[in-house]
Amino acid sequence: MKNKSSEASEVVILERCWIVEFRSKPDVSIVLKFQSGEPDLYLEAASKTDCESWAVALGEANSEGLQNKIQQLRRLIMEIKEERSSDEARKFLPSSQVDSLGEPQFTSIQRIANEPKLEFSLACKDLVAATRDRKLNTFIQVSVVHPAEHILTRYSSTEIVEGTKDPLFLTGVTFPPEYPIYEETKIKLTVYDVKDKSQDTVRTSVLPDHKEPRADIGRSFLGCTTFRVADLVKSKEQQLTLTLRTSDGGKTVGTIEVNLVKMGELEDGETDHVTTDAQDQKCALVHECTATEGISGKDSLPSLSAVLKNPICKLYRFPTSDNKWMRIREQMAETTLSFHVPKELINLHIKEDMRRNQELKDLGELAPHWDNMRKSVIAHCDQMLSMYQDTLAELGKHTGSSFKSSCSKGEKTLEFIPINLHLQRMHVHSPRLKDALYDVITVGAPAAHFQGFKNGGLRKLLSKFEAERRNTGYQCIYYSPENTAKAKEVLSNINHLQPLISSHADLLLSSASQHSPDSLKNSLKMLSEKTELFVHAFKDQLVRSALLALYTARPGCVLKKPAMPRNSAEEGSDLQHQDHPSQIKRQDSIPHHSEYDEEEWDRVWANVGKSLNCVIAMVDRLLEKDNVSSTKEGENDPSAADCKVFHTGGDWYEQLYPLVITLKDCMEEVVTRAKQSMAFVLLQELACGLPQCLMLTLRRDIVFSQALAGLVCGFIIKLHAGLHDQGFLQQLHTVGLLVQYEGLLSTYSEEAGMLEDMAVGISDLQKVMFKVIEAKSEDFLPIITGRREHYVIEVQLPAKMFELLPQEIKEGKLLRMYPVLFNVGINEQQTLAERFGDTTLQENINQENLELLKEYYKLFTEKMPPDCLPHFQEQNDLKGLLENLHQNIQAKKRKNVEIMWLAATICRKLNGVRFTCCKSAKDRTSMSVTLEQCSILRDEHQLHKDFFIRALDCMRSRQTQGALNESDDPETGCLADNKPTSRHFYPVALLLVSSHLLVVWLILSLALLLAKYQ
């Protein structure tokens, strides 16, 4: 014993003694009593807090406590020695024996395919507080000791349960299928008492694993225990009751119950009570729900595992209104499509742009003005093509995570990649109801973040660009966006149909050489169908006018006569002069330095149809002669008939060959002229807006790439979930798929530009078609074909799953998408927009997409039978919901989140795909998704009304993420040190008083930011 400023005057040996602490408020003393009969030692502290801390310190400082710590250290030393001896033995063992000591020796946990390896729930009883008058606010931290490494890894935590010594935790523990956990794995459970909940939720996940949390950060250590996974899995009751002890292993501070959970199965054991709040209110006895029909996921495992990666699972159990348990498994997974789809798209862009550049070069000789224009366009296009190629090369080097974090949204090499694209799935197992899946795709708003939003987004930029093109004095020909799109469509049809017609023509000649009447008929049928499509593709005034414009761009052009549309009488006279392909003469290419006959195109175009008619007539004559000769020869000697057949076969090929060659020549002539004319149209589009036109194309490609990656992910997930739902599959090929986007962007500052980008990108998805094919290999990633404004996504399914599809889908019917976007800004920036800015953009987007949603519902009611919906009453419900949505949009109410809830409900009732987007798919998105999930549990699965807020807190709590440090957060993806210490947001009410205060606030915020980063 000693005073503060003196030497030690007495030493007290704490052995076989106990501590008596006086609990009266004015008394701050402690008495030490000894078993040996020594006089009591009376100690007095300066304050009650010091008295409590001295009591704890003295209790841990006795000799028995030190001996317990020594024993614990000895056990740790023995474990380390065993581990080292095992490692040393590996050096001297043969490789076969060394392998037997590796991971293969561990026993895997038996489980259902595509299901978590292990799930369990937790509850504590009779916890002992450090002081008797304190109410505990506890949570359990779960750590894993891997058998191969003997390293303690923090895995997850429960939520905080307040005000009880017998907490029952609603958050469970789940290990996903890919997690390396075995029967030999040890799991450590550590119980903490939270003194300051706000501090703990911030700091609990950044503590080093080897250090216990200090009391000064808001929580204190109560006790811990460890168990082997095998003990839980093999226990008869599938339940363990473990003793919680202090860190020295001596004092018992309560018990903890671990219950093995299997979704859809009956659990043994019952829960006595659930604390509803800090006042120790109890709800009635909660019984376990009976098993229900599960959701089959075994067949979809290979194809889904190719798309979804790195799942993070969370398990909850919530009481229902009739006092039964329902279990909820929440899963968040990355998708490989975040990089796969953009890379496929960029590759298609490169091919399309290379083909366009070559078509521009193949225009031939042009007048100096047009030739200089072409050179300038090709130079700019080559620069853009080089940029696409560089981006694709950089993406090919990417390794690591399969998603782009929000901190990378400004990186140029990743601008085609969607931000934080994840699947958020909620699997609900509730009493007396079938298991249900609720999927939401979360992704950052598709936008060109690297290019910035100084001049707005695509919606404004495209409108401004089109107005400037129409009104500027550029020396080029103006073609409307519709005509430009038509030119691209014609070129696409040419590139698609020409090789098909050539192949069918070759098959026709092959059938003729083999003298096969049936094969000849089939080949002729396919040739006729494709040729008719080819001819009709050029039935457009645009081709004729473009040919004339191209001729005027040639050096020394002279017009023979003014342009006049041809009538049917003139076309008929042409047909009379050319009855046989031998009379059809190939036209020269578009003449230079000569008179141009505008009717020449009509003759060239009509020659294709005439050539086809001649081929058809010849095949008919050959088949007719063959039937007559077969009848006659059949009456004579059979051997003579065989000889005749062989001879006739040679005549078939010889008679058809010149006609087929003529057809190909006429088609080649049409292709040459049409390609040049349409390429000239595209030249005008590019020349009128260089370089802005190419930059807008790039921006649109970037936004579309991000939007398409999310759409493909959503379609694949929805298809797998609905494979056994015949009503959904019928709806899919009869009407199409509704895709509803929930936007949470404000209409203020940069986010207004993001919203403009997002609106255009989602609208462009209307031109995407899906096709389901049977996979021919183990690669189940989707295949993308097509061109800008017309893409087809081929989704591959294993054979067993493909057989479940309707015949229409199996035959390759293209499936349409109906994307709709509803946006409601909800953050503080939206408050500024509503007070001082403009919300017209949001109102227009919501109104436009409401009309699209009504159009889809009209198609649905017209094409689908009344019994498609689960209940006939739901059709009336949908009408009411649509009318309610219409009224809310018209009301123009500030931050009207009812719009989002109504749109989401309509989407789910119409079997649609749900997306939730904000700037980075983090804060606002997570708040929206968790609120939606809890609302679904309340409305569809009878969640107990007293537990709505607690369920919401469980899903939103960062505490339950446990193992994730700030730098490992999949939705943050950036280092904690890089975050600003404050956001410089002052009370909005103060800013709304005067616009002068708003200016002052902006200046102060800018000054603070500059000072911080200097």
- The pLDDT tens digits for 189-207 are 999 998 765 544 433 333 3
Does pLDDT of 164 surpass 60? yes
Structure tokens at 646: 């062989």
Lowest mean pLDDT among 467-476, 547-556, 830-839, 969-978: 969-978
Distance (Å, whole) CA 698 – CA 337: 21
Q: What is the mean pLDDT of residues 58-84?
A: 63
Does pLDDT of 1008 surpass 70? no
Q: Give the model's pLDDT for residue 115.
A: 78
Residue 572: band (very low, low, confident or very high) from pLDDT cuts 50, 70, 90: very low
Q: What is the mean pLDDT of residues 607-635?
A: 78
pTM for the model stands at 0.76
Q: Give the model's pLDDT for residue 858.
A: 93
Residue 580: strand, helix, or coil:
coil
Q: What is the mean pLDDT of residues 723-731?
A: 92
Residue 172: band (very low, low, confident or very high) from pLDDT cuts 50, 70, 90: very high
Q: How confident is the prediction for the chain on average, in pLDDT?
A: 78
Q: Torsion angle, CA of 937/941/944/946, rounded to 10 degrees?
A: 20
Question: To the nearest whole percent, how much of the chain has pLDDT over 90?
Answer: 37
Does pLDDT of 826 surpass 80? yes
Q: Give the model's pLDDT for residue 59.
A: 67
Amino acid at 613: N
Residue 118, Cα to own-chain centre: how many angstroms?
26
- E strands, 51-130, are 118-125
What is 742-766 written as a DSSP string?
Answer: EE---SSTHHHHHHHHHHHHHHHGG
The listed range with the strongest mean pLDDT (408-422, 459-473, 547-561, 581-595) is 408-422
CA distances 744 to 142, 322, 751, 878, 915, Å, are 35, 36, 10, 24, 11
DSSP bridge partners of 855: none
Structure tokens at 212: 């216990």
Residue 493: band (very low, low, confident or very high) from pLDDT cuts 50, 70, 90: confident
Q: What share of the chain is helix, strand, coil (3-state, %, to 5)?
A: 50, 20, 30
Q: Give the model's pLDDT for residue 40.
A: 77
Structure tokens at 279: 């006042």
Q: Give the model's pLDDT for residue 702.
A: 97
| pLDDT top residue among 127 and 837 | 127
To the query of whether residue 918 is one of the catalytic residues in this protein, the response is yes
Does pLDDT of 14 surpass 80? no
Q: What is the mean pLDDT of residues 125-144?
A: 87
Does pLDDT of 464 surpass 50? yes
Q: Please name the helix (run of DSSP H) or strand (run of DSSP E) that holds residue 512, with its range, or none.
A: helix 481-513
Where residue 12 falls (left for φ over 0; alpha for ψ -120 to 50; beta otherwise) is beta
What is 215-274 written as a DSSP string?
Answer: GGGTEEEEEEEEEEHHHHHH-TTSEEEEEEE-TTS--EEEEEEEEE--TTSPPSS-B---
Does pLDDT of 88 surpass 90? no
Q: Give the model's pLDDT for residue 744.
A: 95
Nearest to 856 by CA among 818, 823, 906: 818
Q: What is the mean pLDDT of residues 778-782?
A: 91
Q: What is the mean pLDDT of residues 65-84?
A: 62
| pLDDT top residue among 107 and 630 | 107
Render pLDDT for 22-57 as a digit per residue (tens, 0 to 9). 555 566 777 777 766 677 777 777 777 777 777 777
Does pLDDT of 431 surpass 60? yes
Q: Please name the helix (run of DSSP H) or strand (run of DSSP E) that holds residue 530, with its range, or none.
A: helix 517-536
Q: What is the mean pLDDT of residues 311-331?
A: 90
Nearest to 258 by CA among 228, 285, 284: 228
Q: Give the model's pLDDT for residue 844.
A: 95
Does pLDDT of 540 surpass 80? no
Residue 478: band (very low, low, confident or very high) from pLDDT cuts 50, 70, 90: confident
Q: Give the model's pLDDT for residue 27.
A: 65
Render pLDDT for 939-997 as a digit per residue (tens, 0 to 9). 989 899 999 999 999 998 765 544 443 333 444 434 333 333 333 333 444 444 445 55
Q: Give the model's pLDDT for residue 349.
A: 96
Distance (Å, whole) CA 144 – CA 150: 9
Catalytic residue among 918, 934, 954, 974: 918
Residue 389: band (very low, low, confident or very high) from pLDDT cuts 50, 70, 90: very high
Q: What is the 3-state secondary structure (H, E, C) of 592-639?
A: CCCEECCCHHHHHHHHHHHHHHHHHHHHHHHHHHHHHHHHHHHHCCHH
| pLDDT top residue among 357 and 302 | 357
Render pLDDT for 89-131 as a digit per residue (tens, 0 to 9). 444 444 444 444 444 477 877 666 667 889 999 999 999 887 7
Pairing of strands 790-797, 768-774: parallel
Q: What is the mean pLDDT of residues 680-693?
A: 86
Q: For residue 217, count CB atoms less than 10 angstroms from its CB and return exposed for 0-12, middle for 13-18, buried for 19 or more.
A: middle
The listed range with the strongest mean pLDDT (229-238, 604-613, 706-715, 1005-1014) is 706-715
Amino acid at 606: A
Distance (Å, whole) CA 521 – CA 511: 9
Distance (Å, whole) CA 1002 – CA 440: 37
